[in-house]
Amino acid sequence: MILRQWRLEEQPFVNAILGDPDVMQFSDRGVLGEKDQAAWLQNAIASNDQYSLPGFFAIERRQDRRIIGYISLSRDLTRVERGEAEIGFRLAKQAWGQGYASEAVAAMIETFAHLPATAKIVAIVDPHNLKSVKVLEKAGMAYCRDIMFPGYDYPDHLYVRDLKT
């Protein structure tokens, strides 16, 4: 697996991931339309230049160079507290259950655990998304508390990995 920056010509891969109802089942926004998918890709590319965190990376399968998902590390202070970086990921359905998500999460945490002003890696996950919960726990993250966002029917779960202990 290779983690690398996105390129504009990779819009079809973004469409296949963010436009899939199964992949987006636990997303707060649901399936994204083409306009939102294009905006997501623009943001993913720009984020790598605008922030001190690594931003959004394409997950590419090494053997065939096919993009199978994305992983991100970001600091949106409307979602996390100071000193925290939020990890997020999504995989195309055909890549599920093959260890790619676990490998990508572990690589991001190990590679970027030394970032200045980052004491914790956090993940916000729908408690019904048991596959993602398993990936987070495998990466050494633990349930911390419920977190309720405006407009939600039930709380998400906040998972945390303390980097300073």
The domain tally of the chain equals 1
Give the residue-averaged pLDDT of 41-60.
Answer: 80
Give the residue-averaged pLDDT of 1-22.
Answer: 94
Q: Kindly give, in sequence order, each residue whose CB lies less than 8 Å from that of residue 138, ignoring residues fewer than 6 positions away.
A: 102, 105, 106
Per-residue model confidence (pLDDT) at position 155: 96
Q: What are phi and psi of 31, to 5 degrees?
A: -60, 135
Per-residue model confidence (pLDDT) at position 165: 67
Residue 113 domain boundaries: 2-162
Average pLDDT, the chain: 92
Rounded to whole angstroms, how far apart are CA atoms 38 and 56?
14
DSSP state of 141: -
Check whether 51 has a pLDDT greater than 70.
Answer: no
Per-residue model confidence (pLDDT) at position 133: 98
Across the beta sheet with 67-74, what order do the strands follow? 2-5, 55-60, 67-74, 84-91, 120-125, 156-162, 142-147
Q: Lowest-confidence range among 77-86, 111-120, 142-151? A: 111-120
The CATH number that applies at residue 26 is: 3.40.630.30
Per-residue model confidence (pLDDT) at position 49: 60
State pLDDT tens for residues 93-135: 999 999 999 999 999 988 877 877 789 999 999 999 999 999 9
CB–CB of 114/125 below 8 Å?
Answer: no
Check whether 50 has a pLDDT greater than 60.
Answer: no
